[in-house]
Chain A
């Protein structure tokens, strides 16, 4: 079983709380979403593994079983072209769950007219195998969901 931790601190809103139907309907995959604490913060690795893809606004970590977890920092943030994000890790590196990956500011994203909500997605996962264990407020690196 893979334990997935919260990449950011905030309120667990679930995928249905994502203001983007593709995430909200689970098309990207099952998982959860966090409405992050506003202000400067650091997004961390949701699982231990290799950083397969690292964009300023999103990253994918793949564990030893080949399971990938996507963290998306805000909605439509690909269009910011990295502005407001600072990479703290490198693609291809092996990191532990909780390792610092990207410095960002949820308040600045929101001030720019975008939602800072962060979907955390189990890629290629069967819906039945993902169980969200967190509810309400979570701290960075607190348990979020499990992937059997």
Chain B
């Protein structure tokens, strides 16, 4: 089981567009994928659940799965450098 704590650095967090990309990526894994914020863990393959967590820039979240590759890929999605930032 891989679980990674991540600080969200993408500009708008997981709002509609980035949330859709996040969920589609999670759905590519055959294993269960969880997303946790403030102690609330949801199915990372559900767009309704991910939008409901309201993940914003600066939030501390964690991603977990037996599929370590997917954990790496999802981590990369939410920790890209903010637009225009360095």
Contacts and interface: CB of A to CB of B under 8 A. Distances in A.
B2 interface: no
Interface stretch (A52-60, A96-104, A134-142): A52-60
Given A124-B47, A124-B48, A70 B54 contact: no
Contacts of B51: 52-53, 60, 68, 70, 123
Nearest to A62: B48
B15 interface: yes
Interface residues of A, number: 21
Interface stretch (A1-9, A19-27, A35-43, A108-116): A19-27
B17 A23 contact: yes
Nearest to A91: B54
A79 B17 CA distance: 13
A143 to B, nearest CB: 22
Contacts of B21: 22, 27
Given A22-B16, A52-B52, A70-B51, 11 more contacts: A23-B16, A23-B17, A27-B24, A28-B19, A29-B47, A55-B15, A70-B16, A72-B16, A78-B12, A78-B16, A119-B16
Interface of B: 12, 15-17, 19-21, 24, 46-48, 51-52, 54
